Structure 1
Amino acid sequence: MTLPFAASPAERRLLTEGRLSGPMPWVIAIMMFLTVLAAAGGLALNHAARNVTGSIAQRITIQIVEANPDLREQQTRAAMAALSAMEGVTAVNRVPDAEIEALIEPWIGGAGEEEGIPVPTMIDADLTEEAHDRLETVEEAIIAAAPAARVDDHAQFLAPLAGLIGSLTWLALALVLLTASALAASVILAVRAALNTHRGTIEVLHLMGATDIQIARLFQRRIALDALLGGTIGFLTAVIVLLLLGQRIGAVGSELLGSATLPPLAWLLLILLPIIGAVVSTLVARFTVIGVLKKML
């Protein structure tokens, strides 16, 4: 079986070939650039959604809002003890006072409690899915141990964000399909134009006994090389853009933005895109040539 990339020297002379000489490789490069960016965005958002709906969504934060510092400390310890004794609570961590002061400093300054402004203590607790489903029972137990406690459910605040991430993920998938469709349409137009240009050569080949499959092999090899070369250029350009964006996101220092990264499996899928693009372009070119030849002759 002859590979689509292989051709004899005689076959190569029938159709002129030039590296990056025509518009087709550059069109494919642009399409592949957009496809890789859209696919990377969708994969990163999917990874972020898994993190959001995973450990973060099962977390609650307890605020002990009590003006008396001694009573506030007492209720904080009681709430932590109650949480540690509960079934389904996987982790209990008290937020350091320095971190709380850093959070409220832009609003009330750096010496809020010294000026008589009570600063609540905060406790983060990670729950299992079963424990999170019975959050009302957990909340009642916390309030029984610490009457000044307020329970904030992260899932309640993250639900709209998770919905937005899901919508953006589907949008990225739609963009990948649209760019792939545009790539296939470009290949069809390029093949039809090449067939019209080499119509005389094709008629001579038919008179010499060449079959439609043999003629299609000439065109599909040309398209395969253009697709592989253009796809590689588009992929490498997209990778450079993704690496630069990754550095920018890392500099922000946001836990949520930091979760929108590409895992190793996602990079493997992105690497396969130029190869998949070349294979699809070759098949589209083959079927287009055979279909047009049946109508021409």
Structure 2
Amino acid sequence: MLSWLFASSSQRRILGRPAGVSGPTPWLIAIMSFSMIVVAAAGLAVSNTAGTIAKSAEHRYSVQVPDGARNLPAVISALRSARGVSGAEAVPEADMRATLKTWLGSEADNPDLPVPAMASFDLAAGADIAAVERQVKSAAPNATIVAHRENLRPVLRSLRVLQWLALGLVALLAAAAAAAVVLAARGALDTHRFTIDVMHGMGATDVQVTQLFQRKIAIDALVGSAAGAAAAAAVLLLFTASATALGELTGGVRLGLADIMLLLLLPLALTALATWVARTAVLTALRQAL
């Protein structure tokens, strides 16, 4: 099935090119491979970040007490005695004011500014949040319970959009690589039209002629994909080692083994796509020329 990959030296000389890679095709494939891997890695990191955030907030709740800190000890006591509640703790007022500084600036430190008291707790899976809410309201009637996942829903939605955007960009880059291969294959056909006519005159079939071009483009695509993948790996390792913008964007989430394996498959997939597209384009052009 893959016998076309192992052409003889005489077959390799038919196209009049030296052994190895040549032309712009390997460079184009390298650029596409580099871009695809970097974009895919960013998409996978964003996906992992969204999963981590969603998992951490799945059973996390907050209690807001508008009456201030005087009712907070009773709320904490009610939470810790409620069934299914764990990790109940008060949010320090200093943290609340530090958060308010984002919008109010130095005014957030004004002692006359009323700051609601807040507590956070975890709820076991299957526990009754309504029962917990009744117990909390018995200690502080004005208290309200807010699920963290509800507050984070817009953030998670945005992360999912970025994830699908990355997937779409990878698909577009693959389509662009396929288009470049088609142009390269048709250009090679035009360049070697006389050689092809001679081969046909000697009894060569379209499939045999196609295999010559298919092999050349497959090698160019493999070398280009590997070079692009190596460059992308170096860039990603640099980001990981220096903990720069990518690390801050993903909150320190690293790519898992499954993610790395998927990224390693991208150059092979790009090579297979380029080979198939080249074969289809050359074979179609030869048959249309008859």
Partner amino acid, structure 1, of 2:204: A
2:35 paired with 1:34: yes
CA shift for structure 1 position 48: 1.9
Partner amino acid, structure 1, of 2:244: R
Residue 125 of structure 1 is matched in structure 2 by 121
**Structure 1 residues 147 and 75: CA distance shift in structure 2, 3 A:** farther
> Secondary structure of 2:13's match?
helix
Q: May I ask how many residue pairs the two structures share in their alignment?
A: 284
CA shift for structure 1 position 100: 3.4
CA shift for structure 1 position 259: 5.9
**Structure 1 residues 128 and 198: CA distance shift in structure 2, 3 A:** farther
How far does the alpha carbon of each residue in 1:68-117 deviate from its partner, in whole angstroms, 9 at most, with x for none? Answer: 6xx556314413323xx324x4x3242575983894696679xx79x788
How far does the alpha carbon of each residue in 1:195-253 deviate from its partner, in whole angstroms, 9 at most, with x for none? Answer: 0101111111112222211111111111111111111121122222223333215874x
Once residues 104 and 192 of structure 1 are traced to their aligned partners in structure 2, the CA distance between those partners, rounded to angstroms, is 61
How far does the alpha carbon of each residue in 1:110-144 deviate from its partner, in whole angstroms, 9 at most, with x for none? Answer: xx79x78887764322235644xx64543232222
**Structure 1 residues 296 and 118: CA distance shift in structure 2, 3 A:** closer
Once residues 259 and 123 of structure 2 are traced to their aligned partners in structure 1, the CA distance between those partners, rounded to angstroms, is 29
CA shift for structure 1 position 190: 0.3
Partner amino acid, structure 1, of 2:213: F
2:225 paired with 1:231: yes
Residue ranges of structure 2 left out of the alignment (5+ in a row): none
Partner amino acid, structure 1, of 2:135: A
Once residues 215 and 161 of structure 1 are traced to their aligned partners in structure 2, the CA distance between those partners, rounded to angstroms, is 54
Residue 272 of structure 1 is matched in structure 2 by 265
Residue 78 of structure 2 is matched in structure 1 by 79
Once residues 77 and 275 of structure 2 are traced to their aligned partners in structure 1, the CA distance between those partners, rounded to angstroms, is 69
Q: 1:205 aligns with which of 193, 199, 223?
A: 199
> Secondary structure of 1:14's match?
coil
Residue 258 of structure 1 is matched in structure 2 by 251
Partner amino acid, structure 2, of 1:190: A
> Secondary structure of 1:123's match?
strand
Once residues 118 and 9 of structure 2 are traced to their aligned partners in structure 1, the CA distance between those partners, rounded to angstroms, is 76
Percent identity over the alignment is: 37
Partner amino acid, structure 1, of 2:38: L
2:280 paired with 1:287: yes
2:2 paired with 1:6: no
Once residues 13 and 204 of structure 2 are traced to their aligned partners in structure 1, the CA distance between those partners, rounded to angstroms, is 15
**Structure 1 residues 249 and 59: CA distance shift in structure 2, 3 A:** farther
Mapping of 1:175-214 within 5 angstroms?
Answer: 175-214=169-208
> Secondary structure of 1:258's match?
coil
CA shift for structure 1 position 188: 0.6
